[in-house]
Amino acid sequence: MNKLKMHSTNLSQDNIERIRDLFPGCVTEAKAENGEVKLAVDFDQLRQELVDSIVEGPQERYQLNWPGKREALHLANAPIAKTLRPMSEESVEFNTTKNVFIQGDNLEALKLLQEPYLGRIKLIYVDPPYNTGNDFVYSDTFTSSKNAELRRSGQISEEGIALVANTNANGRFHSDWLSMIFPRLKLAWNLMSDDGVLVVSIDENEHANLVSIGTEIFGRDAYVGEIALKNSSKNDQSYISMQHEYIVFFVKNKAANPGNWTERKEGLEKIYSAFAGFKKEYGDDWAAINAAAKAWYKTFPASDPVYGSKHYDWMDANGVYFGSDISGPNDGQYVYDVKHPVTDLPCKQPARGWVFPPDSMKLRISEGRVHFGPDHTTVPKLKTYLKDTETQSLTSIRFVDGRAASKRLATLFGEKVFTNPKDELLLRDIYKAVGISKGDIVLDMFSGSGSALQAVWELNASIGATAQFIGIQVAEDLNESLKTAKGAAKQITNNAIKLLGKSGKPANVAEICKQRLRLAGDKIRERTNSLDVGFRSLRIDTTNMADVYYSPDSLEKGQIKLLVDNIKPDRTPEDLLFQVLLDWGVDLTLPIVKKSIQEKAVFFVDGNVLAACFDAQGGVDEELVKQLAKHQPLRVVFRDAGFKDSAVKINVEQIFKLLSPVTEVKCI
């Protein structure tokens, strides 16, 4: 009976298998350092296959390079022996929710998600630590040490003396940031669906590098634009005071996602309400309404969305409109007289002639869709109604009050507990614009306070969708953050530590995020009870399996007894189940039912997707196996130490072949 591997996917081997599919003669077998036979690439043969398209050595090519790139790529591909352990007591609606919150390092989480979510994520949101010239919480082991990189780049001498000024702005910090983000985006690409979207919040320090690294991973055509987010009015920097951030967009496949991204214009309700007031005051005096509307629009600053629709300043019985150009695309296309409805004289014609032929123009005039001036001396215009143009393409400039999201979060918690949270309502609108809808999955790999996760619920509540989320957040220690925090940030961190302490929760960022989700879920339930506002909380931990599971051949004779139980003593059957789900690539949110069969606990995942019995007392006999086979699960897994004897273990596969031939049988 085959054993589950019980570690994350080895992406290097997966890549080799893809090469083998394309060039079977270029892949062979070779012995690894541990003596095991594995697939290997014959690069000499591959060069011959691609002889006209190879760039190597010092040959110039377009690329982004930095110290640590090779190690970052290796880190992205290397497997890890980790698992996700369920934390049902920290979850909300654990048994029914489709949302997942993972506590732990996001690089490890992304590796663990490769099997169950490969090609399934519609949108990945990334709000990475901005490069401020400081070390990162996400400091992966391969990044170069500070002094080593400063010496390598010539910023300090061997004696540690600074050779250049302003070292924080130099190479090491860019290299560290790139080495941090590269493997994460590399793994994110695997998880995205063919029509998937990557959305990244970033400031000016790494904006250019982000675009370069994104196009390298996703492809030259993947970058589709960005939003410049005006969210500050600070004036405290030399040269140019940066008052905006960027939200950068990449798509995995333009053919699958042609970019029909639209959004409803902001401020429409204010406009409709204002014109209703003008109509009430002036009746059918359209000229008076036009004058009032123009004066009203002037009261708004250019940053207000209402101001962007100021050209909609006319009204008739059919609604609010603006007069658009009625001239033809070509000179003299349609030339004829159009009489003014009051003076009965021919109106002034546009320079290029009319856009419509005579019959079409007569129809539009009869329907009241042509705007005439006070007399025939002005060129008529075509009425374009606001109700027919309420949507627009996703625009590249946004004005967002950076304090609004902080105020809403402070109201939710009762006080400020997080600095500069992202705006969940802006993210909700982005999700809607790019087409997140029923059943789509949004993944946020740097969840922070949970803005991007709450935004999924806000989207569902606003349009009746059933989108799901996967949030990942490392348990960043707030007490450590407090040591370097200053001013308002120090007070806010103190507030968070005290608030979490009162609730008995550890003082870390992951706990802030989970608590925000609980509170936000309660608020949404006040509006509607039909939404899934729960989350299944999971925590990254070392593998459930003892070292002997991965290398039984290395045991000495005196250690043979370790083979009796190859699972760590502190792990529960639920822990084992979730590692099996990961290994077998099964959705982590499927419903789980625990049943008793012959007094043995058996887990059934989503009916018959998977059945698991982790009995370790040697109680799994042929009768129990036959009972499980009657359920005809697609997959079944047993604990190696759970079989009554070796005869039962040998017969298991035969029993399933007879009673349930569709079942795949494995053990741990």
Residue 581: alpha-carbon gap to chain centroid: 22
HEC secondary structure over 59-71 = CCCCCCCCCCHHH
Long-range contacts made by residues 295-303, C-beta under 8 angstroms, separation at least 24? 303/230, 303/399
Q: Kindly give the pairing relationship between strand 391-393 and strand 100-103.
A: unpaired
Rounded to an integer, what distance in angstroms lies between the CA atom of residue 445 and that of residue 125?
Answer: 7
Q: Which amino acid is at 664?
A: E
Bridge partners, residue 200, by sequence = 126, 248
Rounded to an integer, what distance in angstroms lies between the CA atom of residue 114 and that of residue 9?
Answer: 7
pLDDT along the chain (668 residues), means of 10: 76 81 78 74 74 65 84 90 96 97 96 96 95 61 46 47 43 83 96 97 94 93 94 79 93 95 94 98 97 97 90 97 92 89 96 93 96 96 96 90 92 94 96 95 97 98 96 94 89 94 93 97 92 98 82 53 73 96 96 95 96 90 95 95 91 95 95
Residue with tokens 């390298």: 216
Crossing angle of helices 207-218/171-191, nearest 10°?
A: 40
Q: What is the pLDDT of residue 17?
A: 82
Q: How many residues are present in the chain?
A: 668
Structure tokens belonging to residue 185 = 């985006």
pLDDT tens-digit map of 375-433: 999 999 999 999 999 999 998 988 888 899 999 999 999 999 999 999 999 999 999 99
Name the helix (H) or strand (E) containing 174: helix 171-191
Q: What is the pLDDT of residue 330?
A: 79
Structure tokens belonging to residue 393 = 């393409």
Q: Which residues make Cβ contacts (< 8 Å) with residue 5, sequence separation at least 6? A: 583
Dihedrals phi, psi of 374, to nearest 5 degrees: -65, -25
Rounded to an integer, what distance in angstroms lies between the CA atom of residue 247 and that of residue 659?
Answer: 55
Q: What is the pLDDT of residue 154?
A: 44
| Residue 421 region by backbone torsions, left for phi larger than 0, else alpha for psi between -120 and 50, else beta | beta
Crossing angle of helices 69-77/11-22, nearest 10°?
A: 90
Rounded to an integer, what distance in angstroms lies between the CA atom of residue 214 and that of residue 206?
Answer: 12
Q: Which residues make Cβ contacts (< 8 Å) with residue 105, sequence separation at least 6? A: 138, 474, 540
Q: What is the pLDDT of residue 400?
A: 87
Contact by Cβ (8 Å): 193, 257? no
Contact by Cβ (8 Å): 326, 382? yes
Name the helix (H) or strand (E) containing 666: strand 664-667
pLDDT tens-digit map of 547-578: 766 555 555 555 445 455 789 999 999 999 99
- Give me the half-sphere count of Cα atoms (radius 13 Å) on the Cβ side of residue 505: 21
Radius of gyration, alpha carbons of the chain: 32
Q: What is the pLDDT of residue 127?
A: 96
> Is 279 exposed, middle or buried (CB count within 10 Å of its CB: 0-12, 13-18, 19+)?
middle
Task: State the sign of the Cα–Cα–Cα–Cα dihedral 22, 26, 30, 32.
Answer: negative
Q: What is the pLDDT of residue 135?
A: 56
Q: What is the pLDDT of residue 134?
A: 61
Structure tokens belonging to residue 564 = 């009796």
Residue 168: alpha-carbon gap to chain centroid: 30
Edge-to-edge strands, sheet with 592-597 = 592-597, 600-605, 610-613, 635-638, 664-667
Name the helix (H) or strand (E) containing 102: strand 100-103
Rounded to an integer, what distance in angstroms lies between the CA atom of residue 1 and that of residue 652?
Answer: 8
* Strand extents, DSSP E, 185-232: 192-202, 223-230
For 62, other C-beta atoms within 10 Å of its C-beta total 9
Alpha helices in 257-382 (DSSP H): 268-282, 286-297, 358-366
Q: What is the pLDDT of residue 146?
A: 46
Structure tokens belonging to residue 8 = 């994350």
Rounded to an integer, what distance in angstroms lies between the CA atom of residue 101 and that of residue 554?
Answer: 37
Rounded to an integer, what distance in angstroms lies between the CA atom of residue 641 and that of residue 618?
Answer: 6
Contact by Cβ (8 Å): 584, 115? yes
